[in-house]
Chains A and B, each alone.
Chain A
Amino acid sequence: MSEIKVVANILHTNEEITSQNKQLLNEKGIYVINLMSSPGSGKTSLLEKIISKLRDRIRIAVIEGDLYTTKDAERIEAQGVPVVQINTGGACHLDGKMIKGALDSLNLDNVDLLVIENVGNLVCPAAFELGEDIKITVLSTTEGNDKPLKYPRMFENSGAIILNKMDLLELTNFNKAEFYKDINSLNALATIFETSCVKDPDQGIDELCSWLSQQVNINSQFNQHVSD
C-alpha cells in the first residue's frame, strides 16, 4: 500500500476558472459585485433602483442566477441594461463555470459595473468565489436580526451589508442594536446601508448609489493606473 500526499483544494476546478474570469474582468476594468441574500430579501428590487439611478452615468450589466425562471432577468431587462440569465436547474449557488458561460454572452467592452445576482440562499453561495471585487449581502428586516449569527460565513465575507425593507421595521421584532452588535463582532469592517425600495421617497438608495459609483470610480482609476 502506498500513501500519496495530494494537498489539493477540493474546489480547485472552481478556483481555476474563477481566476481566469477575474483576469478577464480586470483587463476590461470592470467592477464586479456578487450580490447574495436569502430568497425574497429584495435583491432584484434594489438592483432596479440602483440601475435607474446610475444607468446614465455608469454602464451596468447584470448576470441573474435563478433555479428555474427568467422572472428577475425580465425585470432587469425592462431597466434597459444588458442581462444574462443563468438557470442552475436546482443547484443552490452559482459557480465559476456558469459565470464564464455568461461572460461570453456579454459585450464586456461596454461595461463598468457587473452585478451578479446569486441564487437566493444564505449558505452555499458564500463558499464559491465568482471572480468578484466585492461580496454584498442583503438582509431584510422581516427575516429577523438573528440571521448573521445563524449564517455567519456570508456576512463575515461581505464587504458591504444592506439592511433592506426598513419601511417594515416597526411591524417586526427586528432588533437593530443586536444586528449592529452581531455584525460588529463578525465583520467589523463591513459598510452597512439601511434601505427601503418601496417608501416614497425611497430610503438609503442615494447613499448606496453614491458609495457604489465611488467604488466603480476607484476601480477604473486603479485599472487606468495599472495600464499606464
Chain B
Amino acid sequence: MHEVSIIQSVIEIVTKQALENKLTKINNVSLRIGELSGVMPESLEFAFDSCIKGTMLEESTLNIEIVSALGECKDCNLEFPIKHFNKLCPSCNKFCTNIIRGYELNINTIEGD
C-alpha cells in the first residue's frame, strides 16, 4: 500500500510532538498496526529507513506492534478474534458487524533526548 506516505505522516507527527516536548533527537518510535489495516510491517520498515534521513528521527529505531483483530457480537456481546474471512460469532453463529480492533494505524510512544 502507500507505506511511504504513512511514514511521512509518522515523521511529521513525531517531529511535532518532539518539538512540543523539547526533544532534539528521537531514539525510538513505536507504532500499533492492526492486522486488518492492510499495511505490511516490512514495507513500513523499508520506508522508515529511507525517509528518516536528514530528519530528527535519523538515528531512531522503529518498533511495530501488531494488533490482532477483535469483533463484538451485537446479539450476545461476546468478544472474539476475527479474520477477514471469518467473522461469525462462535457462540451464536451470527455475522459480526462490530469490529472493535484490527484497523489501527497509530503512533503509540516515542523516546528521545
- A and B are interacting partners: yes
Which residues of chain A have a CB within 8 Å of any CB of chain B? 1-13, 92-93, 123-124, 126-127, 149, 152-153, 156, 182, 185-186, 188-189
Known contacts A2-B23, A10-B107, A123-B38: A189-B95 contact under CB 8 Å? yes
- B contacts with A: majority SS: mixed
Q: Apart from A4-B112, A10-B31, A185-B86, what are 5 other A-B pairs with CB-CB below 8 Å?
A: A8-B107, A10-B13, A10-B105, A127-B37, A152-B84
Smallest Cβ-Cβ distance to B44: which chain A residue: A10
Q: Which of B85, B97, B106, B112 contacts A8 (CB 8 A)?
A: B106
* B6–A10 CB distance below 8 A: yes
**Residue B50, interface by CB 8 Å:** no
* A6–B38 CB distance below 8 A: no
Measured in the bound complex, the distance between the Cα atoms of B37 and A9 in whole Å is 12
Measured in the bound complex, the distance between the Cα atoms of B2 and A156 in whole Å is 19
Closest approach, in angstroms, between the C-beta of B25 and any C-beta of chain A? 9
Known contacts A123-B1, A127-B1: A10-B106 contact under CB 8 Å? yes
* A188–B17 CB distance below 8 A: no
Collect the chain B residues with CB atoms within 8 Å of residue A127's CB: 1-2, 37-39, 105
Q: Which of B23, B39, B85, B111 contacts A149 (CB 8 A)?
A: B85
Which residues of chain B have a CB within 8 Å of any CB of chain A? 1-2, 6, 9-10, 12-14, 17-18, 21, 23, 27, 31, 36-39, 84-87, 95, 97, 105-113
- A contacts with B: majority SS: mixed
Collect the chain B residues with CB atoms within 8 Å of residue A10's CB: 6, 9-10, 13, 31, 105-107
> Which residue, of A2, A93, A123, A189, has the highest number of chain B Cβ atoms within 10 A?
A2
Closest approach, in angstroms, between the C-beta of B112 and any C-beta of chain A? 7
* B85–A6 CB distance below 8 A: no
Known contacts A3-B110, A92-B2: A9-B85 contact under CB 8 Å? no
Known contacts A7-B107, A127-B1, A189-B97: A2-B13 contact under CB 8 Å? no
* A93–B2 CB distance below 8 A: yes
Collect the chain B residues with CB atoms within 8 Å of residue A186's CB: 84-85, 87
Closest approach, in angstroms, between the C-beta of B43 and any C-beta of chain A? 12
Q: Which of A5, A11, A189 contacts B109 (CB 8 A)?
A: A5
Collect the chain A residues with CB atoms within 8 Å of residue B14's CB: 6
Smallest Cβ-Cβ distance to B84: which chain A residue: A152
Smallest Cβ-Cβ distance to A14: which chain B residue: B9
Q: Which of B85, B107, B109 contacts A3 (CB 8 A)?
A: B109
* B111–A5 CB distance below 8 A: no
Measured in the bound complex, the distance between the Cα atoms of B2 and A10 in whole Å is 12
Closest approach, in angstroms, between the C-beta of B16 and any C-beta of chain A? 9
Collect the chain B residues with CB atoms within 8 Å of residue A8's CB: 13, 17, 106-107
Measured in the bound complex, the distance between the Cα atoms of B96 and A186 in whole Å is 10
* A124–B85 CB distance below 8 A: no
Show 14 A/B contacts (Cβ-Cβ < 8 Å), sorted by A: A2-B21, A2-B112, A2-B113, A4-B18, A6-B108, A11-B105, A12-B9, A93-B2, A127-B37, A127-B39, A153-B36, A153-B38, A188-B87, A189-B97
